Amino acid sequence: MHDTPAAGPAGPADSAASIASGGTAGTAGVPGVRELTTAQKASLTSGADFWHLQGVEAAGIESVMVADGPHGLRKQPAEADPIGLGTSLPATCFPPAVGLASSWDTDLLRRVGEALGAEARAENVSVLLGPGVNIKRSPLCGRNFEYFSEDPFLAGRLGAAYVHGVQSQGVGTSLKHFAANNQETDRFRVSADIDERTLREIYLPAFEHVVKDAAPLTVMCAYNKVNGTYASEHHFLLTEVLRGEWGFDGLVVSDWGAVADRVKALAAGLDIEMPPSGTDAQIVAAVEDGRLTEEQLDAAARRVVTLIERTAGARVEGAVFDADAHHRLARSAALSSAVLLKNDGILPLDPAGTGRIAVIGEFARTPRYQGSGSSLVVPTRLDNALDAITALAGPERVAFAPGFALDGTPDPGLVADAVAAARDAEVAVLFLGLPAGTESEGHDRTHIDIPADQLALLAEVHTANPATVVVLSNGAAVAVADWQDRAAALLEGWLLGQAGGSATAELLFGLADPSGRLTETLPLRLADTPAHLHFPGSEQHVRYAEGLYVGYRYFDSLNAPVAYPFGHGLSYTTFELSGLSVVRGAGNTCTVTATVTNTGARTGTQTVQIYVHDPASSVDRPVHELKAFGRVTLAPGQSEAITLHLDERAFAYWSAAEHRWKVEARTVEVRAAFSSRDIRARESVELPGDGVFGPLTAMSSLREWLGHPIGGKLVGPLLEKLAAMRPPADGADAERGGGERSLPEMVAGLPLGKLAMFGAFAGAGAMFTPADLEALVAAVDREIADASA
């Protein structure tokens, strides 16, 4: 219904107000499920068809529609193949997440979400299936174009803004794919084997933040297993964590075809299977024989009915959206999504100049603007860069040569025409990228290289005209190190949606300032990436052996060379940062203030990134981690103070020993940066810690006892006996670093109980008896309990 313009997205329905605030108001009219038969309740826990939830007409429970997103509505007409791609109703195709995320602009994500919600409502779609906040563990993941970042903090903030926007229109969202869905290879069976701390610090936080901050109406479970258990049957994830710890009160829906055992899934916390498998009788039988309780089935059915009520605002007759306004928003989004990686001064081009411009590359005429798979949108219109460049520069200045065939077939004639165009031009703008089939749901890439025929074309064009600008079209990281010296400027265009062509032209001619920043590290080589030896696994298992060290956490901790670091992006102006101030607030919170100044001659936008560095943590931690960010747009010479807040989680790590988030009392460093490698200022702050003391046992080392605020006091008297264990050091032993220096360090790592035993053999006599050890452990337990109370 996009052909009847309105002023803009219609205002949210009354029920949407409670949705946006995370409330459950507006469910008073939900029909009771206790009055339904067991068979009726079981029917509610599977879909009616591929795109509709089941209703119970006799009870006044309507069937509602869901549809694919996340960067545009993919609603299949009733008469069409429900799965068929390219047959959906026209809708605005916004830049996919790979582009939108590069804006680092939560307000933009919210506005795009509002537009998506308005379009869903105009088509009576109750739930838009997005956003995807899975982490970009490897650049090879075929679905990376649908995900925001390699960093969970950034992914969570952007995802929450998106959800707030969509749900402000009365339309629900589906946060996906929960959890650890980081590859397409064997996605229906593979087990993501992840240690507890890595799961908590890398792969769950984005989901956690979106759930707590934006209250998505549904969460979609992933296809894969997590540590051997299907995500659809994972009680720990779906019930203990999602509902119990995070307070999620919405509906858990399966990814399409993700359910292996409906009874186990419902018992674990899955509310509805999509699409229906015709196995409702299994649920009825499980209730009858006691494998499921009536209460478990009631809870799932009630959540389905509650979702239908909460999305009543999505089903309003006569709702329309303004297709022209949404296309303009798509162009604004594309302008903010592109990242200027390199510029020798050739950009921006002069729209009023007289020199000829050679536009080369089929992507300039036939744009790649989205990835393939279930998110494929039929756009309401489609801009291309060639037409937009010609309109800005004038047809007399522009010569076009396709240069290469989209299927990769070498064509010497196309290359010759492109070289001739470049030779006769003042500047050559060469559009390169990945073929559409290489980036798709359902399979992963095998390399990160631009096709060889395109790179051969670049070499020929650069030889003919060194004033060559390269514009990339790709949905995930590509290798640029081996050829970027042939580009005087390099614009990472990602996939920019239906208005990306006009946005690219505006950026090339300086009508807008490049403001995108990388949300994933661009490596020198695929072999440099941390998951390289452990992706995509084998025999239905993939081991996340790199642990916490994903993306910049790995590269920066090693100070390893990269092509371009996380957070990098150039502008047509320059910026300085000054006056960094870090003021500790209540507990382990801080307020960070810094001043950004535009020191160039053009208006531009800079993103300030705040990283936290813990130099003396008791556990291994990445060298620094992103914990806040903010954008500021400044005129030439203008300065503006930006204030950001760091909550307690900014300083916490997940203690696998204690199964909780832990903040240690120590001094940490707060870093203000323009990328993870461009640190502009540093300030230290002393944290009091969380005041919760971890346990100690007889198997805790002497070092752990001494480092413990309570244990260190109790075990102090043992140090006198320990001193008697040190043998005199002869000169040679001292030169080797032995004797007095080596023995105490050696025993510091021994468990306390073993130290007592070894002490007797060292001639120091028994350090203490088993009864003494038992009493010491009991004493520390009492004092820890008292201090933590």
Q: Is the peptide bond before 451 cis (omega within 30 degrees of 0)?
A: no
Token pair listed for 332: 């604004």
Phi and psi dihedrals of 249, rounded to 5? -120, 15
C-alpha to C-alpha distance for 249 and 212, rounded to whole angstroms: 10
What is the residue whose two structure tokens read 């890398």?
202
Both structure tokens of 688: 């009091």
Output the CA–CA distances (angstroms, integers) from residue 64 to 33, 217, 529, 537, in the order listed: 17, 14, 44, 39
What is the pairing mode between strands 666-675 and 172-178? unpaired
The CA distance from 63 to 183, in Å, is: 33
Q: In DSSP terms, which residues pair with 624 in a beta bridge? A: none
In contact, 497 and 99? CB cutoff 8 Å: yes
Angle between helices 752-761 and 770-788 (to 10 degrees): 150
Token pair belonging to 768: 């203490």
Of 392, 446, 391, 399, the closest CA to residue 422 belongs to 399
Computed on alpha carbons and rounded to an integer, the radius of gyration of the chain in Å comes to: 29
Q: Which of 68, 105, 151, 255 is catalytic?
A: 255
Q: Residue 59: phi, psi to the nearest 5?
A: -100, 5
Other CB atoms within a 10 A radius of the CB of residue 106 amount to: 20
Backbone phi and psi for residue 753, each to the nearest 5 degrees, phi listed first: -65, -40
Instruction: Quickly list DSSP for 187-256.
Output: TTT-EEE--HHHIIIIISHHHHHHHHHH--SEEEEPSSEETTEEGGG-HIIIIIIIIIIT---SEEEE-T
What the block records as the tokens of 534 is 């452990």
Catalytic residue check, 255: yes
Beta strands at 218-221 and 172-178: parallel, antiparallel or unpaired: parallel
Q: List the structure tokens of 515.
A: 């403001």
Cα–Cα distance list, 283 to 56, 228, 237, 414 (Å): 17, 24, 21, 62
d(CA 780, CA 543): 38
Nearest of 700, 697, 748 to residue 722 by alpha carbon: 748
CB 542 within 8 A of CB 535: yes
Assess contact for 230 and 258: CB atoms under 8 A.
yes
Going across the sheet that includes 575-584, the strands are 575-584, 590-598, 639-646
Separation of alpha carbons 69 and 557, rounded Å:
36
Which stretches does DSSP call E strand in 255-353? Answer: 339-343
Backbone φ and ψ for 9, nearest 5 degrees, come out as -55, 135
3-class DSSP state for residue 558?
helix
388: enclosing H helix or E strand: helix 385-393
Q: Give the number of other Cβ atoms within 10 Å of residue 303's Cβ.
A: 22
Nearest alpha carbon to residue 106 among 153, 171, 170 = 153
Label residue 648 exposed, middle or buried (CB < 10 Å: 0-12, 13-18, 19+).
middle
User: E strand or H helix at 654, and its extent?
Assistant: strand 653-655
The 3-state DSSP class for residue 525 equals: coil
Residues serving a catalytic function are 255
